[in-house]
Structure 1
Amino acid sequence: MKRILLYIIFLSSNIGLCQYQQKAGQPYTEPDLLIWKNDTIQIQTFPLYCWSKFDQNKLFDTQNVKPECWGCLKNYTAEWKIINDKLYLSNIYSFNFKKDSIKIDLNKLFPNKVESNLVFANWYSGDLFVPQGEKIWMSQSPGFPIYESEWNLTFKEGKIENKVFKTGNYHKSIYTQDPKEIVSFIDNHLDQETRTKLKNKRISILFKTGKSKKDYSVSLKGVDDKKLELKLINILKVLPDFDYYYRHGEELNLTIPLTYIDNRL
């Protein structure tokens, strides 16, 4: 008996009105930097986009600064600091700073607003997500990271109003780590009558993740027999666990299509 299993992953999520974030499924966006609690952390919430005078095309005047990665649009890396629960902009570097050493003169961009080489980000009201712990990569290469934990810092006019720490942002089951496991699970739960009906069948299985290990849905394509379809769905619904993913405080709806082919002679 020979079975082939193929799968593709697609993701989708939302963007907030002001707290501009990289959307799931987009090509990787170079993160900003946040200096907080004696640590420098990569973040993919971009407060500079919320500044009313922000124009990326004019950031570097006549200097032609372009990102050197496929699909990337953001041509800068902003550096932020949180001091006494206030958000400050400390630097804006070109995307290729390690090569061209170009960075913005904050005094020119924010006249009369710079104190001790910092600009108070009083224009920013919204959530800022600060990742912590291990990460996995999702979507197309290089995709985007999902971290084990993250802080959700809520700002109003540049000042922190609320802090929430959330852990357990993802669970990756053995079935997506090794697709052969789902084949074994199906085989172990088939009776002889069902095996006979599946001979030489090609079936598309569609998994959709939910809020927890037990919260997932299953649908099938390529099964003409409704009773057989229901039986297979009921088998797949009793997996011990399945994947779930959260990022920037939101559940990610992960869709995993599987092609199940029975090539028995």
Structure 2
Amino acid sequence: MNRLLILYIVFMLIFSFKAKSDIIIINGKTFPLTSESPLNKYPLVKTIKEKLVSYRTTSYDDPCDSYNAEWTVVNNELYLINIYSCNDTKFQHKTDLTPLFNDGSVTVKNGMVKAVWFKGDIWAAQGKPIYTYTYMSPVYAAETRVVVLNGKVTGVKEFVYPFVKDAVYNEDSNARTKFINDHINWLIIPNLKSGAKRINIVFQPGKLGKPENISLFKPSDDKILNDEAIRVIGLMPWNAYYSHGQIIKQPILMSVLFSEDRRPK
């Protein structure tokens, strides 16, 4: 099996989960988290989940996992300030955190819990989503990384990702078909009256707005068609999307159809 296709299957299995989006307040502005909830790193989070069993969602299509947490940064420290149900309006009010954190390892003060257990990166989305992959959380044009060490914020960095404005082909199948047909060198394509030939190509988005790692997934027995399909796909502007500072290198499967009906008359 094609190596990129195997990677694609693994990619889809890894990311085929229901998204859980906490929110974080930084300098008075609220952002959705694009990373795992810091609450999941709390040593007794299982106990908290058991106490929040009434928050659990029953809707298969609900993208939330039972509840969401709300965080804030105050004086360069990370605090949990609320936990609320993500799908049940009965539990949208502010939650009393005291009975949830009564093990003595943390202190609830003024309705807030300092996240002393958490060390790592929190990623917060900026603006509206620009794209959503199947089975995945939305991706954004910019994110903020908040570095936390035992509840203390040690660094904040903004990431603004490159975006190719003329790369409309990610979402517009008609535009893709027209681009491919317009860029085929039909002068070298042999007569196809015996039947159309479809070449399946697999590639990955590249940082410079062009496909990378292009290979044949379902080749033809005609080398001229195979080579031309690879060449044309390599010309197509194609936006790469980013998450947590890294390009999302998911494989893309695309077809190039050669037929006399498509040959310019």
TM-score normalised by structure 2 residue count: 0.79
Distance (Å, rounded) in 2 between the aligned partners of 1:67 and 1:212: 43
Name 1:232's counterpart in structure 2.
229
Distance (Å, rounded) in 2 between the aligned partners of 1:138 and 1:25: 12
Name 1:253's counterpart in structure 2.
249
Name 1:190's counterpart in structure 2.
185
Name 2:128's counterpart in structure 1.
134
Give, in angstroms, the shift of residue 70 of structure 1. Answer: 2.6
TM-score normalised by structure 1 residue count: 0.79
Q: 1:262 to 1:238 in 2, by over 3 A?
A: closer
Larger relative contact order (Cα-Cα within 8 Å, sequence gap ≥ 6): 1
Aligned residues: 245
> Of 211, 217, 222, which aligns to 2:219?
222
Q: Identity percentage over the alignment?
A: 26
Give, in angstroms, the shift of residue 57 of structure 1. Answer: 3.9
Q: 1:181 to 1:256 in 2, by over 3 A?
A: same
Higher helix share: 2
The answer to whether 1:33 aligns with 2:23 is yes
Name 2:155's counterpart in structure 1.
162
Give, in angstroms, the shift of residue 27 of structure 1. Answer: 4.1
Name 1:50's counterpart in structure 2.
41
Name 1:115's counterpart in structure 2.
109
**Secondary structure at the residue paired with 1:164?**
strand
Instruction: Name stretches of at least 5 consecutive residues in structure 2 with no aligned partner.
Output: 1-7
Distance (Å, rounded) in 2 between the aligned partners of 1:67 and 1:47: 24
**For the Cα contact (< 8 Å) 1:11–1:25, is it kept in 2?**
no
**For the Cα contact (< 8 Å) 2:203–2:211, is it kept in 1?**
no
Alignment of 1:88-107 (within 5 A): 88-101=79-92, 104-107=95-98
**Which stretch shows the higher mean deviation, 34-43 or 96-105?**
96-105
Distance (Å, rounded) in 2 between the aligned partners of 1:264 and 1:66: 54
Distance (Å, rounded) in 2 between the aligned partners of 1:44 and 1:255: 22
Give, in angstroms, the shift of residue 207 of structure 1. Answer: 2.7
Give, in angstroms, the shift of residue 168 of structure 1. Answer: 2.1
The answer to whether 1:150 aligns with 2:143 is yes
Distance (Å, rounded) in 1 between the aligned partners of 2:211 and 2:258: 28
**Secondary structure at the residue paired with 2:235?**
coil
- What is the alpha-carbon root mean square deviation over aligned residues? 3.0
Distance (Å, rounded) in 1 between the aligned partners of 2:243 and 2:190: 40
Instruction: Name stretches of at least 5 consecutive residues in structure 1 with no aligned partner.
Output: 1-9, 15-22
Name 1:208's counterpart in structure 2.
204
Q: 1:182 to 1:195 in 2, by over 3 A?
A: farther
